[in-house]
Amino acid sequence: MAAPPECGASPSARRSLSSAGFVQNGGMQGMPILRLALAINLWLATPPGLAEGWQVGGHLKAQYSFTDYRSGDVAAFYGDDPAHDAALDARLKAEWRAGFDFMAHYEALALAGDSVATRRALAGLGLFASGTGTGLPDDRQRLLDLSDDFVAEDRAHAVHRLDRLAVGYGGEAGTLRLGRQAVSWGNGLAFQVLDFVNPFAPLAIDKDYKTGEDMAYGQWQWVGKGDLQIMSLPRRDPVTRELDHERASHAVKLHARIAGFDLDTLAARHYDQDLLGFGAVRSVGGAVWRFDVLHTAVPSRDGVWSFLTNADWSWVLFGKNMYGFIEYFRNGFGVYRDTDYLTLDPELTARLARGELYSFGRDNAALGLQIEFAPLLNGFATLIQNLNDGSRFLQLRGVWDVRENLIVLAGFNLPSGERGSEYGGIPTPLPGTWLAPRRTLFARAAYYF
């Protein structure tokens, strides 16, 4: 199922943010003094000769959304229908690179409106919520606790956190980095197979930054031949906050260029299960073809295979630049028959809750199209199809680059299908209710600096 949009808002939505309590003593009363002092000391301690190596910037994003539920949707049972919501996403970043490197990104994320209490209620029922219960990230399982809630009201929730905090060294031979950072592996365009740590949702409209994780990461280069990457990511028990080796992720990936192919081989230990993966990319005519496959060794059963293959290409039609892709995704943990929604595989629900998977179905297809109507105006269409139950999810959006640092977009999400299907709604433990994706209109502005 698609993840909810992450940022928000029109003038009326901004007023609702203020009335909901996002502005409290300047909006920063929850920030620990130690964290603020650390940031100031790092800045002041920078030698004058190194100041020119700093890059600073950030963004401010605001989104308003209108959601309409179908009769019988469990979200409508627990909240307002229709629902009006707003969200904010602010990020400040400072990075320095000169052999040794340092990066620190502070972010504040906020939600306000009719759906906040609904999300908490669904999380209480165990219906695939993650993080704080409203969908905002927290650090309960991360090595370092660098997040705080500074608003927790019935109709509003906000967190601020350090999403990047890492030091490293990079040279011609490779890179080694320690701290909070993000790594992306694999060749998926909508779904992901080899990218098992915080992958983007298939219909995510914001892919600027993945949520950072506390890890050690290294990459060693073989010029003209490929590279070797390693990742070690510890995690804590979310209840006891003790380090739990069974929740950790450790992985090594080898990338090589052979006979026109880009090849990836991956081995990992992830949540106490062994993963073996392989990927390939090659240009075919005017298109690029990709393939990823992953084997997961699950205790007390045969190994589970997941894979995807896709192709994308660009062309010109009627004087307009166009881009498209097609992808097939086989979810080895997915549901094959409609009746299987009544007894979901615990291995599937665990991955849905962790944000590793976004699909209930076994066989899935994705189609994407981009049309450049004008140099600064683009239209996007994405269709996700469950090939087993016939349900689908359509997203249409337009993106306007108003000027160099300001982007405005608007669109809608439209799921469809029979009750008892993935995008039509799967049954919940509450009789007569269904868990279904939301039908949503959204508008967003993003300012970069």
Give the per-residue pLDDT at 303.
92
Q: Give the containing element (helix H, strand E) for 118.
A: helix 116-124
Give the per-residue pLDDT at 171.
85
Q: Tokens 């219909």: give the residue.
A: 203
Examine residue 305 and state whether it is found in any structural domain, yes or no: yes
Examine residue 88 and state whether it is found in any structural domain, yes or no: yes
Give the per-residue pLDDT at 165.
98
Examine residue 356 and state whether it is found in any structural domain, yes or no: yes
Give the per-residue pLDDT at 53.
78
Q: Are the C-beta atoms of residues 323 and 367 closer than 8 Å to each other?
A: no
Report the alpha-carbon distance of residue 298 to residue 91 in Å, rounded. Answer: 39
Specify the DSSP class assigned to residue 238: T
Report the alpha-carbon distance of residue 290 to residue 311 in Å, rounded. Answer: 6
Report the alpha-carbon distance of residue 95 to residue 90 in Å, rounded. Answer: 17
Burial of 367 (0-12, 13-18, 19+ CB in 10 A): middle
Domains in the chain, number: 1
Report the alpha-carbon distance of residue 404 to residue 401 in Å, rounded. Answer: 7
Give the per-residue pLDDT at 385.
98
Q: Are the C-beta atoms of residues 421 and 400 closer than 8 Å to each other?
A: no
Give the per-residue pLDDT at 40.
45
Examine residue 121 and state whether it is found in any structural domain, yes or no: yes
Examine residue 92 and state whether it is found in any structural domain, yes or no: yes
Domain that holds residue 229: 11-448
Cis peptide before 82 (omega within 30 of 0): yes
Examine residue 327 and state whether it is found in any structural domain, yes or no: yes
Residues of the chain whose pLDDT is less than 50? 1-34, 36-37, 40-41, 44-45, 47-49
Give the per-residue pLDDT at 120.
85
pTM, rounded to two decimals: 0.86
Q: Are the C-beta atoms of residues 194 and 185 closer than 8 Å to each other?
A: yes
Examine residue 282 and state whether it is found in any structural domain, yes or no: yes
Q: Cβ–Cβ contacts within 10 Å for residue 196, how many?
A: 24
* CA separation, residue 412 to residues 43, 209, 377, 425 (Å): 42, 22, 17, 18
Give the per-residue pLDDT at 119.
85
Give the per-residue pLDDT at 134.
78
Examine residue 180 and state whether it is found in any structural domain, yes or no: yes
Give the per-residue pLDDT at 105.
98
Determine the residue type at 262: D
Three-state SS annotation for 379-409: EEEEEEEECCCCCEEEEEEEEEEEECCEEEE
Residue ranges of E strands in 199-272:
213-222, 226-233, 249-258, 261-270
Report the alpha-carbon distance of residue 152 to residue 132 in Å, rounded. Answer: 10
What residues does 180 pair with on adjacent strands?
A: 165, 214
Instruction: Give the CATH number, domain containing residue 139.
Output: 2.40.160.10
Of 394, 332, 340, the C-alpha closest to 359 is 332
